[in-house]
């Protein structure tokens, strides 16, 4: 059966579909129910092996055109692990959260349906049974107030992890996130720290409608005093979750609704990712492609086509949306002299817009071509599947953008 074959690919990233009941990992039969054009795109993604397990690396070395090369030299690379365990992204988040809650009894989770329900995307499944109803607190539907409650708890010694059931709901908490999370450390003259983590799924899903498909990273990026990170693989999801909880700063961790079922083998030993660093996904020479979250996978898919056409793109997952890792980005630009930004935010005022400004400010002399930025259309995400696909950036657009930039 097609689904089991997909699942058995060692370390292969499984298809992208939100799942509300998580227990069945082989729940890939949905692919049969999708229209032909969507099914084929999923099959392509599955062929690319993104994992850092030894099997896939061997395979990669045999192929002339490999979509992913692992960065071996950094300490945070999962390639150094000989053994590991495979899990899905939401399980990786849970593992990170669980480890931190065991390590520090002050860490608690606050949000809607995080306790008995296990989280709307099952990130906190089983944790209320383990840690109790006060440590994994089911709140009433009052985002502004329970976010403020998290801030007050953080000021008085706790380390809450506040979950927005969907990132879009945090628009209701904007008062608290902007005024209190962002500014309180400053206006109190440094007396109070706000070590909160605000996390939740955002981004454009599969026909979830306009209000459930928002990208709040562009709204929060101007708030001083906040750090923002976006996870994209099980490895960096767990690492960033742990780093965010350990950080003394308020951190917003952006997850993506469609990435929760990605499967990857991650190290058994404990590791933490750096909040401020970007991740080199594929070293290259012709063009720097900067991306994050779900668009990483569209870029990877486009990369296969580009490599076949003879291009050598360097792909960086920026991971840290605020602040930008200008070192990794800068080194790449100094090498390739061409930049393409691929993001899911709106064209106006998105992360890409800020990144473009930062690159122009810092690396203008190294650019041989204008920076191209592919973003979502400035429209409310439509419900219809065809329209929705046209609002976000698709791999063919990325391919033609690279061709244009590199001429």
> Which H or E element spans position 8?
helix 2-8
Q: How far is the CB of 158 from another protein (least distance, A)?
A: 5
Cite the beta strand spans of 261-327 per DSSP E: 263-267, 279-282, 287-291, 313-317, 320-322
- Has 212 been annotated as catalytic? yes
Residue 222 backbone phi and psi in degrees, to 5:
-85, -10
What 3-state class would DSSP assign to 328? Answer: helix
Q: In this structure, what token pair is assigned to residue 195? A: 């070590």
Q: Which of 143, 255, 264, 344 is catalytic?
A: 143
Q: How far is the CB of 380 from another protein (least distance, A)?
A: 25
DSSP 156-202: TT-EEEEE-SSGGGGGGGHHIIIIIIHHHHHHTTT------EEEEEE
Q: Considering the complex, state which of residue 105 and residue 370 has its C-beta at the smaller distance from another protein.
A: 105
Q: Considering the complex, state which of residue 117 and residue 390 has its C-beta at the smaller distance from another protein.
A: 117
Q: How far is the CB of 173 from another protein (least distance, A)?
A: 10
Q: How far is the CB of 277 from another protein (least distance, A)?
A: 7
- Has 279 been annotated as catalytic? no
The rounded distance, in Å, linking the Cα atoms of 80 and 347 is: 39
Q: Considering the complex, state which of residue 154 and residue 289 has its C-beta at the smaller distance from another protein.
A: 154
Residue 229 backbone phi and psi in degrees, to 5:
-130, 155
Q: Considering the complex, state which of residue 53 and residue 320 has its C-beta at the smaller distance from another protein.
A: 320
User: Radius of gyration over alpha carbons of the chain, in Å?
Assistant: 20
Q: According to DSSP H, which parts of 9-167 are helical?
A: 36-47, 54-62, 89-103, 127-131, 143-155
Q: Considering the complex, state which of residue 169 and residue 311 has its C-beta at the smaller distance from another protein.
A: 169
Q: Which of 212, 255, 276, 344 is catalytic?
A: 212
* Location of structure tokens 């070395």: 61
Q: How far is the CB of 1 from another protein (least distance, A)?
A: 47
Q: How far is the CB of 22 from another protein (least distance, A)?
A: 27
The rounded distance, in Å, linking the Cα atoms of 37 and 69 is: 28
Alpha carbons within 13 A on the beta-carbon side of 209 = 4
Q: In this structure, what token pair is assigned to residue 276? A: 């401020």
Exposed/middle/buried for residue 4 (C-beta within 10 Å: 0-12, 13-18, 19+): exposed
Q: Considering the complex, state which of residue 191 and residue 407 has its C-beta at the smaller distance from another protein.
A: 191
Which residues contribute to the site for another protein (CB under 8 A)? 105-106, 108, 132, 134-135, 139-140, 142, 144-158, 175-176, 179-180, 184-195, 224-225, 227, 247-249, 275-277, 320, 322-328, 330, 362-363
Q: How far is the CB of 199 from another protein (least distance, A)?
A: 17
The 136-138 sheet, strands edge to edge: 136-138, 107-111, 159-163, 197-202, 251-256, 227-230, 320-322
Q: Considering the complex, state which of residue 48 and residue 326 has its C-beta at the smaller distance from another protein.
A: 326
Residue 226: is the preceding peptide bond cis (ω within 30°)? Answer: no
Catalytic site residues?
A: 143, 212
């Amino acid at each position: 059966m097609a689904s089991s074959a997909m699942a058995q690919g060692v370390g292969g990233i499984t298809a992208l579909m939100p799942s509300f009941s998580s227990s069945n990992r082989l729940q890939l039969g949905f692919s049969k129910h999708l229209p032909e054009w969507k099914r084929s795109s999923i099959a392509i993604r599955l062929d690319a092996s993104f994992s850092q397990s030894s099997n896939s690396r061997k395979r990669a070395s045999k192929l002339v055109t490999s979509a992913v090369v692992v960065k071996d030299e950094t300490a945070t690379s999962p390639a150094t692990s000989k053994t590991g365990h495979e899990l899905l992204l939401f399980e990786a988040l849970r593992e990170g959260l669980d480890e931190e809650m065991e390590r520090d009894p002050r860490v608690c989770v606050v949000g809607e349906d995080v306790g008995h329900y296990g989280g709307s995307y099952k990130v906190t499944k089983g944790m209320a049974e383990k840690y109790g109803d006060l440590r994994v607190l089911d709140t009433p539907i009052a985002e502004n107030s329970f976010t403020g409650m998290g801030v007050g708890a953080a000021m008085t010694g706790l380390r809450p992890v506040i979950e927005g059931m969907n990132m879009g709901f945090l628009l209701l908490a904007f008062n608290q996130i902007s005024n209190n999370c962002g500014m309180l450390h400053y206006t109190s003259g440094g007396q109070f720290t706000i070590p909160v983590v605000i996390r939740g799924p955002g981004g454009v899903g599969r026909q979830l409608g306009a209000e459930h498909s928002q990208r709040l990273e562009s709204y929060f990026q101007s708030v001083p005093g906040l750090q923002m990170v976006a996870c994209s693989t099980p490895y960096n999801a767990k690492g960033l979750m742990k780093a965010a909880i350990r950080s003394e700063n308020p951190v917003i961790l952006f997850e993506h609704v469609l990435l929760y079922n990605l499967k990857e083998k991650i190290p058994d030993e404990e590791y933490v990712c750096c909040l401020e660093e970007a991740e080199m996904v594929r070293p290259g020479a012709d063009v720097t492609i900067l991306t994050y979250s779900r668009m990483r996978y569209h870029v990877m898919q486009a990369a296969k086509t580009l490599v076949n056409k003879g291009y050598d793109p360097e792909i960086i997952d920026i991971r840290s949306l605020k602040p930008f890792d200008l070192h990794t980005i800068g080194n790449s630009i100094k090498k390739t002299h061409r930049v393409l930004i691929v993001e899911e935010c709106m064209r106006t005022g998105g992360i890409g817009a800020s990144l473009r400004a930062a690159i122009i400010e810092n690396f203008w002399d190294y650019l041989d071509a204008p920076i191209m930025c592919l973003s979502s259309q400035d429209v409310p995400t439509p419900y219809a599947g065809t329209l929705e696909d046209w609002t976000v950036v698709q791999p063919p657009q990325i391919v033609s953008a690279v061709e244009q930039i590199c001429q």
